[in-house]
Amino acid sequence: MTKFMFGLIIYYLFFSCVRVRGAGRHSRSDTSRLVAPNCAESTESGEVFIDCQERHLNTIPSSQAWSKEPKHLLLARNRIKVLRNRIFTGYEALTSLDLQQNEISLVEEGAFEGLTRLTTLLLQHNRLSTLSEEIIIPMPNLRYMRLYDNPWNCQCAMDGLIHTLQVPSNRNLGNHAKCEEPVWLKGRKLKQLEAEQLCKELPPNDEGTRPSTSPLEPSGIRIKPHATQVCHTYLFPQVRMDCRNKGLTEVPMGIPDDVVHLDLSHNAIRHLKAKEFQGAKNLKILNLSNNNMEHLDTASLTGLLHLRELDLSNNLLHFVQYGVLEDLYFLSQLKLGENPWVCDYSIHYMVYWLRLHPAVRYSGLLCRSPPEYTGERVEEYVNNYNRGCPKERPYNRPSADQTDPELWNTPLELQAELEEELEPSHLRVPQKYEIFRLS
């Protein structure tokens, strides 16, 4: 190469850079807002989010529409069908890109060119049947890629991608994605296919024998649903998992530990078992309304130290088991309406817990039965009970031996004991309880 040519190239590069930067600055002025689709631009902890979810978009909006370089681009629930080469030019600062729930059926090999900082790419719930491994080469920092709920055609063209997904260091790429075709591989996970087999010709009469060689997912055995497969995950404005209306009869497994808001409402969950939310350390809002819950195990809400809102309304709860609420130190809202609360001895725990946590706003705690208390506030029932004037009840009156004498002697005594148990040890200050005996 001659010096002259080299100089020419430098000159060209220099001026083309200047031009591009100039153009960028110009279009990021206030006139740019005119071309911006109706998306919300915001900054959280210093990172710029562009929220274009559910905006009927069929194409990627121009990067010049925004006043700052976005780090997170949310395009879920639009109508994007194709991702052309270099379509994300100008989005080089992105670290997360959410394209789930579109209609994407084609991704050109160079579509993600330039996204060198991208760590999270969400492509689940689209119409992709094939994808070249070339698409991920421009993204050396990619750590999470979701591909499930796409009709993957596990043929030879996919062997490169499947190989890549199976590299051990890529353990968060493509989890749960399954083949839709060919028939003999339907339901098999991409992660678990023998990639070498895909490009071998199959004898035509071999098709019928293939399905029985799938030992990994025996049919007929019900497998506990996996949260990332049945629910939709959104990253904005906080990590939210939407599991509404999925016909769930139990809490799905594998709730990711970064979920802040989990909505399990409108399902058919009957029973919360111990430690089902244990991994969800960051959960702040848990919605269990409109299920068939009759029973919460004592340790079912264990580990939810940061929970702020809990919605248990519209269930079949008669009472809340002693101990269930113990980990909820920071709860501020508790919805209890439309449950058949039974005003008998078992309901006292909840009322005492609420008294000890005056910061908790709660609603819907009304006696449904027995008939003499129907419609009364549960707190009132407990107060009257403790004043020793329960309503006349010829039958079923709780006798002394039904109660635990250690716990239920007097309200004050109970309060002292509960406080001791309820305060988390790291928040507890040494305190002396004075216990009065009123009788």
Ligand X SMILES: *[C@@H]1O[C@H](CO)[C@@H](O)[C@H](O)[C@H]1NC(C)=O
Q: Which one of 289, 291, 300, 302 is in contact with ligand X (CB under 6 A)?
A: 289
- The answer to whether the beta carbons of residues 364 and 338 sit under 8 Å apart is yes
Residue 291 within binding range of ligand X, rule CB under 6 A: no
Q: Which one of 311, 331, 365, 382 is in contact with ligand X (CB under 6 A)?
A: 311
Question: Minimum distance between the CB of residue 287 and ligand X, rounded to whole angstroms?
Answer: 4
Nearer Cβ to ligand X, position 104 or 354?
354
Nearer Cβ to ligand X, position 262 or 367?
262
Residue 242 within binding range of ligand X, rule CB under 6 A: no
The window from 36-44, 78-86, 124-132, 285-293 that contacts ligand X (CB under 6 A) reads 285-293
Amino acid type, 379: E
Pairing between β-strand 295-296 and β-strand 152-153 as defined by DSSP bridges: unpaired
Q: How far is CA 394 from the centre of its chain?
A: 50
DSSP 182: S
Nearer Cβ to ligand X, position 57 or 243?
243
Q: Which sign does the torsion angle of CA 411, 416, 421, 426 carry?
A: positive
The CA-to-CA distance between both ends of the chain, in Å, stands at 104
Nearer Cβ to ligand X, position 239 or 407?
239
Q: Which helix (H) or strand (E) holds 363?
A: strand 361-363
Q: Which one of 181, 258, 309, 413 is in contact with ligand X (CB under 6 A)?
A: 309
Residue 265 within binding range of ligand X, rule CB under 6 A: yes
The window from 63-71, 283-291, 319-327, 374-382 that contacts ligand X (CB under 6 A) reads 283-291
| Of residues 319-338, those binding ligand X (CB under 6 A) | 335
Residue 267 within binding range of ligand X, rule CB under 6 A: no
Nearer Cβ to ligand X, position 120 or 339?
339
Q: Measured between alpha carbons, how far is 186 from 280 in angstroms, rounded to an integer?
A: 32
Residue 417 within binding range of ligand X, rule CB under 6 A: no
The window from 80-88, 100-108, 193-201, 286-294 that contacts ligand X (CB under 6 A) reads 286-294
Catalogue the E-assigned strands of 168-251: 179-181, 232-234, 240-242
Burial zone of 357 (CB within 10 Å; 0-12 exposed, 13-18 middle, 19+ buried): middle
Helix (H, G, I), strand (E, B) or coil at 153: strand
Tokens (6 digits) for 386: 């403790």
Residue 159 within binding range of ligand X, rule CB under 6 A: no
Question: Minimum distance between the CB of residue 284 and ligand X, rounded to whole angstroms?
Answer: 11
Task: Tell which residue, 58, 113, 111, has the closest CA to residue 85.
Answer: 111
- The answer to whether the beta carbons of residues 210 and 184 sit under 8 Å apart is yes
The window from 86-94, 284-292, 343-351, 394-402 that contacts ligand X (CB under 6 A) reads 284-292
Q: Measured between alpha carbons, how far is 80 from 342 in angstroms, rounded to an integer?
A: 52
Nearer Cβ to ligand X, position 113 or 263?
263
Residues that bind ligand X (CB under 6 A): 244, 265-266, 287, 289-290, 309, 311, 335
